Amino acid sequence: MKAFYFLLVLLVTLSSLNAQSLIVQWEEGKDLERKVVGEESRRLLVPSLHIEQIDFASEDALHLAVKELSPCTCVRALEIDRKVDFRTDPNDDFYGSEQGNLIRAGFDRAWDLTSGGKTSEGTDIVVAILDAGFDVEHPDLEENLWVNPEEIPGDFRDNDGNGYVDDIHGWNMIDDSNVYPLNTHGTQVIGLLGAKGNNNRGVSGTNWDIKMMVLSISTISNIVESYGYILAQRQLYNSTDGREGAFIVATNASFGVEGGTCEDFAVWGGLYEELGRAGVLTAAATANQNWDVDMFGDMPTDCPTDFLIGVANVGTDDRLYRSSGFGKENIDLGAPGEESYSTLTRGRYGPFGSTSAAAPYVTGAIALLYSTPCPSLLDRARNDPASAALLVRDAILSSTVPNTSLTFRTATGGSLDVAEAQRMLAESCNLGEAVDFAITAVRPNPAAEEALLETNAIVFSESGRIDLFDSMGRLVRQQSAIRVGGATVTLRLNVAGLASGWYSILVTERDRVARSVIVVR
């Protein structure tokens, strides 16, 4: 018999087949040198617990060893080694074959920490999607639709007194109804954003268990009314400390007016700032035109607000897609929208592309970051929701992957990387809260051309500016505060052309002011 096993091991080894392994935990005090028939090699995995891995040349040898060791009093436990199914990869049918854009945007790595849906305190995270219509009965979507807890379905009463009768998942602003038009575009958008993940069905969204508030729109008035609905829900949540309303953190805008400007639509455009003050960011798709929206205009992506993120479409070659708009000033980053795969109406699935597909990845990134374990972020969301929104925005824009096709065509020059944004957010969370906004270092000092101003700020909006005053107190230079990057805010200060001497620095951002000094040589 021994000769047979020796021959079997030799043949298997020569044929280069993979060894099979058994994990054994020996009883303490027993003879760990016990030889097992058919074993090839062994190694201690956890010495303190007497756990070993024993390798065999074949499955037959492995199973014989199991029979030999199972009744032995020398063994506390044993099990056959095997590859695990990584639960951060959803088991949805088309994830592996069709949803490569989720991987390219970093969601597979971010899911190692959280797959989204709830904050670390257990609060439902809600995103609001404005689009033409939706298949709210799609089996891969219906579980992730927001449900208004204050409404009783089908009683034909306005239970929560907000002016909408039976607004269970949101509202159809087009027809003033809770019945939604069946529309492919909207169904594709919400599928990318929040199709139920890891349910052995179809596709996975950016967040596996997100709650989606859906609002059908066709006209600007529909858009304005929808934002009013969203704002009321989040403000109610804020004012009642989460007892009522909805914790809406983002809206998705895969629509717009190509060639329009925020000046042309001041009411609509002004709502992004209002939403932001309540703690709601918006990810907006830019024009599906190969033009510079800074020059030609695009509504809403050219709105001058810190609470809106303009998104360009990146192709599968990781370059700006040929039909996507761009703009160094108004388009913040790119996202891999082209050749996405999503839900379709009537329970189907299919391809989806264009800038409309790019924006939901960013909306999903915003929502996913709120599920990152970070108590200080949730404290901000309660006490200063606008600051929390800007912190999340800053994490997303500070963590993009450099992309040469976007270098001079977007504000960040990069593409979405939600995993890196998550890492930066977690890192800033560990830094704790700064009591006062301050410049912590000026490097180099003295300086001749340029210096970096290191601060203790985590959040810093685009409205920030730097003022330089000479020794007589006269304003000699004013410039926009340009971020360099990092977990805390570092700003670039230009001192080229200034006369040698001592200058005072004043950094202003919203209602915060920080001061320092620099010597120019």
Instruction: Tell me the per-residue pLDDT of 382-429, one tens digit each, with 9 for 90 and over.
Output: 999 999 999 999 999 999 999 999 999 999 999 999 999 998 888 777
**446 shares a domain with 426:** no
20 & 137 share domain: no
Residue 85 clears pLDDT 60, i.e. is over it: no
Structural domain contains residue 167 = yes
Query: Annotated catalytic residue: which of 50, 93, 185, 218?
Result: 185
End residue of a domain, out of 21, 47, 80: 80
Q: How does pLDDT run across 291-307, given as a tens digit for each residue? A: 999 999 999 999 999 99
Question: Using one digit for the tens of pLDDT, what is the confidence trace for 57-73?
Answer: 888 888 888 888 888 88
**50 an active-site residue?**
no
Residue 72 and residue 125 in one domain: no
**In terms of domains, do 260 and 395 share one?**
yes
Give the chain's domain count: 3
Say how far apart CA 276 and CA 282 lie, in whole Å. Answer: 8
77 vs 366: CA distance, rounded Å: 45
Measured CA to CA, the distance from residue 437 to residue 320 in angstroms comes to: 37
For 455-504, what is each residue's pLDDT tens digit?
A: 877 666 667 899 999 999 999 999 998 877 555 678 999 999 999 999 99
Asked if the structure places residue 249 within a domain, the reply is yes
Same domain, 222 and 324: yes
Is the residue at 178 inside a domain? yes
89 is a domain residue: no
> In the annotation, is 131 catalytic?
yes
pTM: 0.71
Residues 461 and 365 reside in one and the same domain? no
Give one DSSP letter per residue of 37-100, joined into a string: TTEEEEEEEEGGGTEEEEEESSHHHHHHHHHHHTT-TTEEEEEE------TTS---TTHHHH-H
The tens digit of pLDDT for each residue in 118-154 reads: 998 999 999 999 999 999 999 999 999 999 999 999 8
CATH code of the domain covering residue 62: 3.30.70
44 confidence band (pLDDT: 50, 70, 90): confident
| Residues 411 and 461 both lie in one domain | no
Predicted pLDDT at 430:
60
Does the pLDDT of residue 4 top 80, yes or no?
no
Q: Does one domain contain both 10 and 158?
A: no
Residue 253 CA to residue 162 CA, distance in Å, equals 23
Please report whether residue 424 resides in a domain: yes
φ/ψ (deg, to 5) at 461: -85, 170
Selecting among 92, 131, 167, 298, the annotated active-site residue is 131
In this prediction, residue 485 carries a pLDDT of 58
The answer to whether residues 503 and 474 belong to one domain is yes
Nearest C-alpha neighbor of 153 from the set 140, 164, 166, 162 = 166
Q: Which of 216, 356, 399, 428 is catalytic?
A: 356
- Please report which confidence band the pLDDT of residue 198 belongs to, taking 50, 70 and 90 as the band edges: confident
Does residue 3 carry a pLDDT above 60?
Answer: no
Single residue among 396, 431, 466 that ends a domain in this structure:
431
Last residue of a domain, one of 431, 465, 482: 431
pLDDT in tens, 443-455: 999 999 999 999 8
Q: What is the DSSP letter of 25?
A: E
- With tokens 């601060």, the residue in question is 455
Place of tokens 């830094």: 431
Q: Tell me, yes or no, whether 90 lies in a domain.
A: no
- Mean pLDDT of the region 257-274: 88
pLDDT for res 33: 64
Name the residue range of residue 72's domain: 2-80
Burial class of residue 219 in the structure, from the number of CB atoms within 10 Å of its CB (0-12 exposed, 13-18 middle, 19+ buried): exposed
Is 324 designated active site? no
| Structural element, H or E, at residue 350 | strand 349-352
Q: Are residues 401 and 510 in the same domain?
A: no
Query: What's the CATH code of the domain at 192?
Result: 3.40.50.200
Give the domain CATH number at 493: 2.60.40.1220
User: Do 161 and 45 fall within a single domain?
Assistant: no
Candidate from 3-7, 192-196, 241-245, 467-471 with smallest mean pLDDT: 3-7
- Residues 246, 359, single domain; the answer is yes
Residue 362's CB is within 10 A of a number of other CB atoms, namely 32
Q: End-to-end alpha-carbon separation of the chain, Å?
A: 89
